[in-house]
Structure 1
Amino acid sequence: MPLQTLSSESPDSTQRLHLLMQLLQTLDNGLILLDENYNVQLWNSFMENHSGIPISDARDRNLFELFPDLPRSWLTRKIDSVFKLQSRAFCTWEEHPRLFDFKSTRPLTGHSDKMYQNVTLIPLHGLNNTVSQVCLLIYDVTEIATRKKELEAANDTLKLVSRTDKLTDVFNRGFWEECLEQEFLRCKRSQRPASLIMFDIDHFKTFNDTHGHQAGDEVLRVVGRLLKRFRRSTDTAGRYGGEEFG
């Protein structure tokens, strides 16, 4: 039932209003009601606990005075669009990881000392059927965000491992050939020249037979380190096979 329809004239309505306010205060999400001037009309316990600003101090205060670090121009556009279009708007943690600079409630297990948030902006209609307030719902999605970032980091690591020659730590033949093909197509399209350099290590088989495979592996590692050290950032260095590099 909308707040505007609850009347204090009957005990039943008063009881419903009391229960509704209890519910809003005990939500596991942040809840802020703003008027058209961005002044706070409702501020629940979640916001009080995480911001350190008591409900009595927040009411009728401008949101941007309470949180000077908010992206004001961006957020006011969001809020104004909800008032004007009378439709919901959303802000995900990928867009703004932390709209409100709150600490994480699980810094040890969540692997983040800050709270990642999703925010939903909801238009609220008054008795005249016009939008009189906008409700901001702030969701703590720290666990979801950190797990996704950990998964992305793990995938990046796996991708790098799949592209890298284990012995020399330069790109392996498969990925190097992919880069070569892409570079060839780019040069063909742009009509600009590029250089391809391939080399091997002289007398490597004799060195291996004389000093052993462990010594030969160390030579390959040294060549790999030298390639990574002296190549330009735009160059692609890889091991083609055996003692052959490009």
Structure 2
Amino acid sequence: MNGIPAEFEQFHWMVDMVQNVDIGLIVVDKEFNVHLWNGFMTHHSGKQAHDVMTKSLFDLFPEINEAWFKAKTKPVFELGTRSFITWRQKPYLFRCRNVRPITQQSEFMYQNVTLNPMRSTTGEIKSMFLAVEDVTAEALAERLNQK
């Protein structure tokens, strides 16, 4: 493969995918400090990765109810299981602008968020990653059908 080790090539692909996938990816430690902030989150939140790294999620997004969010993360850190936040429970976790031209009927992005444990090489859970999905079109369509 043109002289570049396969592992390096695959690592480069993974970094490229994380940065360009159409879903928000965030890694936080047990103290809720940010360690990864992908391109989706930069685009939708307006916050640059270099401005959020190692900062508290609660300082960056004061709209997040700290006690409620910590309760949602308890099974992730203590049991190693996923936890979910759907737009029906809470329209969004991160107040992000809605940037989709077709669904501009909303001033914010509706989100489904999956909280996933991340195990170290020793199996210990020291951090988690959040997958933030834009479900604005789905939420608005469902709300429109309920009227």
**Normalised TM-score (structure 1):** 0.56
Equivalent position amino acid for 2:21 in 1: L
Structure 1 position 112 matched with structure 2 position 111: no
In 2, the alpha carbon distance for the partners of 1:107 and 1:50 equals 13
1:149 corresponds to:
143
Sequence identity of aligned pairs in percent? Answer: 37
Q: Give the alignment of 1:58-97 within 5 angstroms.
A: 58-97=52-91
Contact 2:103 2:136 in 1 (8 A): no
Superposed, 1:157-176 pairs within 5 Å as none
Question: Which one has a larger percent strand, Structure 1 or Structure 2?
Answer: 2
Alpha carbons 1:110, 1:142 under 8 Å: kept: no
Deviation of 1:11 after TM superposition, in Å, equals: 3.0
Deviation at 1:12, TM superposition (A): 2.4
Q: Aligned residue for 1:211?
A: none
RMSD of aligned C-alpha atoms? 1.5
User: Which of residues 49, 53, 56 in structure 1 aligns to 2:43?
Assistant: 49
Q: Does residue 137 of the first structure (1) align with residue 125 of the second (2)?
A: no
What TM-score do you get using the length of structure 2 for normalisation? 0.92
Matched, 1:34 2:36: no
Deviation at 1:106, TM superposition (A): 2.3
Change (3 A) 1:63 1:109: closer
Q: Hey, what's the Cα distance between the residues in 2 that align with 1:80 and 1:109?
A: 34
* Count of residue correspondences: 144
- Relative to structure 1, the CA distance from residue 69 to residue 109 in structure 2 (aligned partners, 3 Å threshold; closer, same or farther) is closer
Q: Distance in 1 between matches of 2:125 and 2:15?
A: 21
Structure 1: which 5+ residue stretches go unaligned?
1-9, 154-246
Q: Determine the C-alpha separation between the residues in 2 that align with 1:108 and 1:22.
A: 27
Runs of 4+ in 1 over 3 A off after TM superposition: 107-110
**Structure having the larger proportion of residues in helix:** 1
Asked if 2 retains the 8 angstrom alpha-carbon contact of 1:107 and 1:113, the reply is no
Q: Cα offset for 1:82? A: 0.5
Deviations 1:131-168 (A, max 9, x none): 12101000000000000000001xxxxxxxxxxxxxxx
Change beyond 3 A, Cα 1:109–1:129: closer
Cα deviation digits, residues 12-45 of structure 1 (max 9, x gap) = 2222111101100001111100111111111000
Structure number with greater Rg is 1
